[in-house]
Structure 1
C-alpha cells in the first residue's frame, strides 16, 4: 500500500507541475532558485558538480547501463535484471521526450550557452532516477543487513541530488524541471520495480 500512496502522490505532483509550469508563480519561483544556484561560483564545487552531472548525461547513462548490465548478469546469473534496467532506461528516455513534447517549455536563457530541446522535465533527473534507483534496488537485494541496504539507497539518493543540483548550476534547467524529472522518473521506477517484483514472485511459485 505504501507504494500505491507514493505513486498517487507523485502523479498528483507531476500533473500539477504540467498544468502550472507556464504560470507566473512557477516562473517567479524558478527565477529565485535559479539565482541562488547561479551564486555558487567556487571553482572546485562547480567542477565536482559538473562531473556528477555527467552521470546523468547520455554518455554517462550509457556507460553505467552497460557496466551494470554486465555486473548484474554475473551477480544474479540471470538475464532478468540486465533486461529490466535496459528496458527501464529505454522507456524513461521515450517518456521524457514525450513529456517534453507535450509541455514544450523553453530552456533558461544563459548568454553564450545554448542547449537544444525543451526543458521540462529534466532528462538527467528522470532517466537518472530510473537507472540509479533500479541499480540501488538490485544491489540492495543482494545485501542481507538493513544497514547495508540503507547505505546503498543513501548513496544513490546523494548522487541523484547532486545530478539535480548540477543541472541548476549549469543553467540548463529550471528548479521545477528537476522536480518534474524526479517525479516522472519516480513514477516509472515504482511501476517498473513493482512489475519486476511481480514477475520474480510469479516465477518463484510457478
Structure 2
C-alpha cells in the first residue's frame, strides 16, 4: 500500500518549521558576529588607544600560581599545534584529501581560500595595530607582533571550519556533540597556551578569537553565495 500523501496543513507546518529553524540559526550566527565585532573594537580601544593593560595584568596574576613544569610541557605542545609548523601541513593535507581522494575541487578551493585569506588578514591587522610582544615570556620569546594572536585566529578558522562541517554532515547526535566539544577544547587550550607561556597578552588572544570568528563566518557566507549562483 502506498503511504497517503501529506495534507496541505501538514506540509505547511513542516515548511514553517524549517523556515523557523533556518531563521533561528541565521539569527544566532548574526548575533555571534555582532558580539565578536563589538568585542574586537572594545579590546582594540582599551589596549591601543586608552593604553589600559589592567585586564591583561589581572589575567596573568590569576595564571601565575598555576604554572609548573608539567603544565608548561603540555602548553608547549598545544602552542605548537596552533602554530605554522602544524597548521600549514594540516591545511595542505586537508586540501589534498578533498582534491585527490574526495575528488571535490570546490571543497578544496574553499578550504584553501579560508586558510590563506585568514593568514593575510591576521598579518595585516598585526601591522596595523603594531603591538609589541610581552617582555616576560615564560620559556622562550616569540617573534613578530602581538595583536591579534595569530594562533587564536587561525585555530578558530581551522578548527571552527571542522565544527561547521561536523554540525552540517555528521548525523549521529552523540558523535556530533563529542567532536564539537573536542574541537572547541583545542581552540580554547591553544589560546590559553599562548597566554600561559606569556608570548601573547590575554587581550591579543580574545581579539584573535573575535576576528577569527568574524572572518570564518564571512568566508563561509561569501563562498555559499558563489556556490549558489554557480
1:68-89 Cα shifts (integer Å, max 9, x gaps): 2233336643112222121111
Give the 3-state SS of the residue equivalent to 2:66 in structure 1.
Answer: coil
- Quote the offset at 1:142 in angstroms: 3.0
**Equivalent in the alignment of 1:38:** 64
- Measured in 2, the distance between the counterparts of 1:70 and 1:141 equals 21
Provide the alpha-carbon RMSD of the alignment. 2.0
**Equivalent in the alignment of 1:173:** 200
Max Rg structure: 2
- Measured in 2, the distance between the counterparts of 1:28 and 1:197 equals 41
Give the 3-state SS of the residue equivalent to 1:70 in structure 2.
Answer: helix
Q: Which one of 146, 156, 159 corresponds to residue 129 of structure 1? A: 156
- Quote the offset at 1:108 in angstroms: 0.7
Relative to structure 1, the CA distance from residue 150 to residue 71 in structure 2 (aligned partners, 3 Å threshold; closer, same or farther) is farther
- Asked if structure 2 preserves the Cα contact closer than 8 Å seen for 1:129 and 1:160, the reply is yes
- Measured in 2, the distance between the counterparts of 1:75 and 1:200 equals 21
**Equivalent in the alignment of 1:191:** 218
**TM-score normalized by structure 2?**
0.79
**Equivalent in the alignment of 2:91:** 65
- Asked if structure 2 preserves the Cα contact closer than 8 Å seen for 1:40 and 1:46, the reply is no
- Measured in 2, the distance between the counterparts of 1:20 and 1:115 equals 23
Aligned length: 202
- Quote the offset at 1:160 in angstroms: 0.5
- Compare relative contact order (CA 8 Å, sep 6+) and give the higher one, 1 or 2: 1
Relative to structure 1, the CA distance from residue 89 to residue 152 in structure 2 (aligned partners, 3 Å threshold; closer, same or farther) is same
Structure 2 gap ranges (5+): 1-26
1:13-61 Cα shifts (integer Å, max 9, x gaps): 1111112213354x01101212322333332222112111111101111
1:110-162 Cα shifts (integer Å, max 9, x gaps): 26743222111000001111011112322443311233222222111100101
**TM-score normalized by structure 1?**
0.88
Relative to structure 1, the CA distance from residue 169 to residue 116 in structure 2 (aligned partners, 3 Å threshold; closer, same or farther) is same
**Equivalent in the alignment of 2:168:** 141
- Quote the offset at 1:99 in angstroms: 1.0
Give the 3-state SS of the residue equivalent to 1:156 in structure 2.
Answer: helix
